[in-house]
Each structure stands twice: as structure tokens, then as C-alpha cells.
Structure 1
Amino acid sequence: MAIRPIQQLIRAQAVREGAGVTVHRSIGTQSLRHLDPFLMLDHFGSDNPNEYIAGFPAHPHRGFITFTYMLDGQMEHRDSMGNRGELDSGGVQWMKAASGVIHSEMPRQVDGLLRGFQLWINLPAAEKMSDPAYQEFPANKIPEVETASIKVRVLAGEYQGQAGVIKDPNTQVCYLDVRLEAQARFELAVPKEHQGFIYVFEGSATSQSHALPQHSLAVLGQGDAVAVTAGEKGTRFILVMGKPLGEPIVQYGPFVMNTREEIGQAMADYQNNQLVRKKAAFNV
């Protein structure tokens, strides 16, 4: 197998979002605008309740999927589809905004902790104006594979025969939460045509002799396998892979379409209270 090299290393940047909440963004910055099919990655977290008390009040989305993973704490979700959910520690939320959704996300700390990730995944042109959909899965529904030195939570894709709860037929996303004890080595075969990244959020690691410091995103180069070795104090990271769509990406804030005209229509629809065209069932 050809182990993928580290093509680019990006330090997450602090960005103000919602009602003044600070998140740490790696994809969706000047350093890395997009990584097809991924549009944005935010890492949020704090032990100070005042930093997140205002949360993310009602805001619109069109043309893509949001994938939220709570490491610690809780997130209350409400949306224009009529859904209301409580995403607890270890749970995942998948929302296909598609033709239009307006939602709010209000975080709450649990035992003084609040941590998680939000990933934006692009939709192909043929589905950008399709009906929205929503799914939410608690921690006990997420498959786990554990050995003496490795623990893997399978959110999407497959690992050692375990399939994740989230499935995206368009991009075939694989999303793993990997915890390694000191000096342990993790390897995974991946499709050659897929693009992906590693984001280290605990400890440190190396890949192909390339250091992966904490709070850094490593863009993976070409190859058919990924290999990571933990540092002296162990590590924890997410590994995300997906099939590129290869389509034009035109983004304006919370709208991601294929042309400027479509962005203009999305803005007009939102201003005229016509963004939400179809409600969808709440699936858990």
C-alpha cells in the first residue's frame, strides 16, 4: 500500500460566529478555502460558559450538509422542518439543508465541558434544491472498535467490519474518531480517488515522519492508505475522507451553490421568507 503523505498542514484560526461565539476553523479559511467535497471544518470548545451562552441563534442554510459531532456537552437543535433535538456528548447530527433550512444551535456545557466539531459537506448540483432532511444519533448508537492500544468510533464509513450510522451516497464520507495510546500505530486502506484530512485535537502524532501537532489539520496527499503513529502521551484525532464532486463551488456565507445567479436567488428567497420550501421528517 502507498501511505498518503501530508500535503499541507494548517493551524486552526479563531473565527467569531453565531452571537459572538469563537470557533477554530481550518477548512473554510484563506489557507484552505475548500477540500472537495468538504466546505468547512469548525472545532468548538470551551470550559468558560460565558463564551458560548449566546450560542448560534436562527440562521439559514442552502446547498449543503452540516455534520455535527459532540465530544462533550450538549447542543439543542431547532429548525424550520419542525425538528427539535438534544445532541448529547458522543452523539452526531446530520442535516441536509438542500433547498433551504433555518435552524438554531444552542450549546450547553456538561460538567464544565463543551467540545465538538461541525463539518460542512457539499451537495451535487442535482441535489442542491432537493428536500431537506435531518438525522440525529446518540452516543450509544455509534459503533466502536477497541483493542489494547486503539479505540475507533465509526461515525460514517466503515472500519474493521463496523459501519457508521451516517451514510452519504454522493461523497461516500468516512468519518472516524481515533484514540491511540502512546506510540500506537493506526493504519487504514482508503480509496485512491478520495480526498481527506486528519485533525489532531488531543496529544500529538506523526504521519510519514511528519509531525502533527495538536489543533492542526493535515491535508492528505495521494495514496491508498493512511498511517498515524501516536506521540509519547498518546493522541486523539478525527480522520475524514470523501469522494470529490468536481463541480463549481460558489459560496456566500451560509449558501453554497454552483453559480452566482443561484446565490442571488438564495439571498432573495431568504429576504422574501421563501427559503424554506419543504419540511422533512425527523429521523433518529
Structure 2
Amino acid sequence: MSRQLRQVIPALATSDGAGVKIKRSLGQSPSARLDPILMLDEFNSDEAADYLAGFPSHPHRGFETVTYMLDGHMLHEDHMGNRGDLRAGDVQWMTAGRGIIHSEMPQQLEGRMRGFQLWINLPAAEKMQPAAYRDIAAADIPLQQLANGGSVKVIAGEFSDENAETTTGAISGRSTQALYWDIQLPEGETLKLSLPEKHHVFIYPYEGKLLVGADERELPSSQAGLLSEGDSLQLKAKSQTRFLVVGGKPIGEPIAQYGPFVMNTADEIDQAINDYRNGQLAG
């Protein structure tokens, strides 16, 4: 069964951290989620004033964050003493679990800062696991070349199209079976993707325009296109296009969120707030 475009969520300009300018599509409201995906932010600016204040020390509990850099240089530091540099093409996959306190600060005074931050929910049984993270260098992310001149960076999950062998991403084995692909297609070229039938999946063009599904509905850049269920997807590049394909296995549990805390109940949110105030969030 071929997937179709069922809903479009345009990214809205906003700010986060200490005033970093971003565009937020998924996560701009509680109704704008796609279980297990909680949020997608795009940041892209050549103006240092838009990003220089960065994301000073702040907490998380109950989910995973994935930072994918296209351009620029950010430094991650956390309460466990970890430090990690993120440069162009690098990914950091962080499991906040029961709690982490970290910062993400620019290491440049000028030039372009560009990339994405994705939030992926965790099931209740995994929300209080110890915090952990993995820095993935650009060179360690599998790159699959396509016969039509396109290419796919397979950050997470397994990628295959109708003509190619399966490529396993840098990240696998998560309970949500996350997919995270960065695909480039030349103008006028088509691509048929194989997708897990029951996964919730969306597409996010960030350069150019896509035609989605057999009915070729247009999806412009900086708009999240939520897909219907199915095991395949037909795409065509209306122009030279780069886009993300992101998804996962639905968790199907209640969500209670208060800023950087994502749990299942209001009582658990209250506990997270109290733990943070008492210095026990990441204990």
C-alpha cells in the first residue's frame, strides 16, 4: 500500500534557548506531534546574532534528543563531565532518560549555523533509564548513492529503495525503531521508498520542493508532511531537493509534557520539577 500526504504542518518562526532563532514544525503545539516524534526544530542563519547566545545549561527527562549539524560548530557539555564537538555532518543522539543537565553552545563568532534538533519520545518503561549519549562523526554515517544521481545519509534505521541493497544506519536497535534519513534528489528525478507499514513517518524538505505520493501533492521546504500508513512511498523532486524522512514505531501511551520534561502523567511531571529543584533530577 502506497503512502500519501495526509497533513502538512508549516514550520513557524520562534526562538529557544537563550534566544536562538529557529523554525518549529512538529511540537509547535500538543496536537502537532506524530507518536513517537515530539518535535522538529530547524535552525539556519548566517547572522551570528541569531544563534550566538546558544542553549545554556538546561535539563531534560523522559525522551531522546537528536542534533544533526549541517553547518557550523557546537559544543555539548553535561553534568556527567562529557564534552562533545558537533561539526558539519555530525550527529549527537542523546537519551535523557531519568535526567540530564547539559548545554549546547556555538563555537563560532560568524558564519552559518545550520541543522536540526529532533525529539523522540520514550516508552514509560524506559523513561527513567540512566542518561547516555553518542556522538557520531559525519564519516561514520553510511551514505548510499542512488542510481538517479541522488544520495541518502542513513542516520538511523534501515534504508532501501526499489533498486538498491539495504543500508543500516549509524543508529539502530531503539525500541521505537526510529528512521532518520537525509536524502538528496536532482530536479525531475523520482524515488520509491520502502517503509515499515505501521510506522508513523513524516517528510521535511529543507531545500527545494517535493511531489509526494502517486497524486504528486506539492510539499515546499520548511513544511512537515505527515504520511498515511503503507509500506512504500513515491517521491519526485520538483527542483533540486534535500529532505528528511523521519519516523518511528508508535508508542501509544499518554503524554504529559512541561517544557523539557516528557512523562506519562501530571504527577510524574511534578516529580521531575521537584527533582530538578532539589538537585536530584539526574541522580
When normalised by structure 2's length, the TM-score is 0.94
Partner in structure 2 of residue 246 of structure 1: 252
Q: Does residue 180 of the first structure (1) align with residue 185 of the second (2)?
A: yes
- SS of the residue corresponding to residue 27 of structure 1 reads coil
- In structure 1, what is the Cα distance between the partners aligned to 2:107 and 2:49? 10
Paired residue type of 1:236: R
Q: Does residue 230 of the first structure (1) align with residue 237 of the second (2)?
A: yes
- 1:242 Cα deviation after fit: 0.6
- In structure 1, what is the Cα distance between the partners aligned to 2:87 and 2:172? 20
Kindly report which structure 2 residues correspond to 1:154-165, keeping only aligned pairs within 5 A, or say none: 154-159=154-159, 160-165=165-170
Q: Which runs of 5+ in 2 are unaligned?
A: 160-164
- In structure 2, what is the Cα distance between the partners aligned to 1:221 and 1:108? 40
Partner in structure 2 of residue 129 of structure 1: 128
Runs of 4+ deviating beyond 3 Å: 108-111
Partner in structure 1 of residue 81 of structure 2: 82
Paired residue type of 1:251: Q
Q: Does residue 92 of the first structure (1) align with residue 97 of the second (2)?
A: no
Partner in structure 2 of residue 150 of structure 1: 150
Partner in structure 1 of residue 3 of structure 2: 4
Q: Once structures 1 and 2 are overlaid, which stretch shifts more, 114-123 or 101-110? A: 101-110
- SS of the residue corresponding to residue 165 of structure 1 reads coil
Q: Percent identity?
A: 51
Paired residue type of 2:195: V
- In structure 2, what is the Cα distance between the partners aligned to 1:58 and 1:111? 22
- SS of the residue corresponding to residue 129 of structure 1 reads coil
Answer yes or no: is the 8 Å Cα contact 2:75–2:83 preserved in 1: yes
Paired residue type of 2:157: G
Kindly report which structure 2 residues correspond to 1:1-284, keeping only aligned pairs within 5 A, or say none: 2-30=1-29, 32-109=31-108, 112-147=111-146, 148-159=148-159, 160-208=165-213, 209-231=216-238, 233-277=239-283
- In structure 1, what is the Cα distance between the partners aligned to 2:192 and 2:42? 24
- In structure 2, what is the Cα distance between the partners aligned to 1:4 and 1:87? 34
- In structure 2, what is the Cα distance between the partners aligned to 1:55 and 1:146? 34
Answer yes or no: is the 8 Å Cα contact 2:4–2:228 preserved in 1: yes
Distance 1:242 1:197, change over 3 A: same
Distance 1:153 1:111, change over 3 A: farther
- In structure 2, what is the Cα distance between the partners aligned to 1:175 and 1:144? 13
- Cα-to-partner distance string for 1:236-262 (whole Å, 9 max, x where unaligned): 000012100011110000000000000
Answer yes or no: is the 8 Å Cα contact 1:52–1:108 preserved in 2: no
Answer yes or no: is the 8 Å Cα contact 2:208–2:241 preserved in 1: yes
- In structure 1, what is the Cα distance between the partners aligned to 2:232 and 2:111? 38
- In structure 1, what is the Cα distance between the partners aligned to 2:70 and 2:191? 21
- 1:166 Cα deviation after fit: 1.3
- In structure 1, what is the Cα distance between the partners aligned to 2:173 and 2:42? 22
Answer yes or no: is the 8 Å Cα contact 1:175–1:241 preserved in 2: yes
Paired residue type of 2:280: Q
- SS of the residue corresponding to residue 85 of structure 1 reads strand
Q: Which runs of 5+ in 1 are unaligned?
A: 278-284
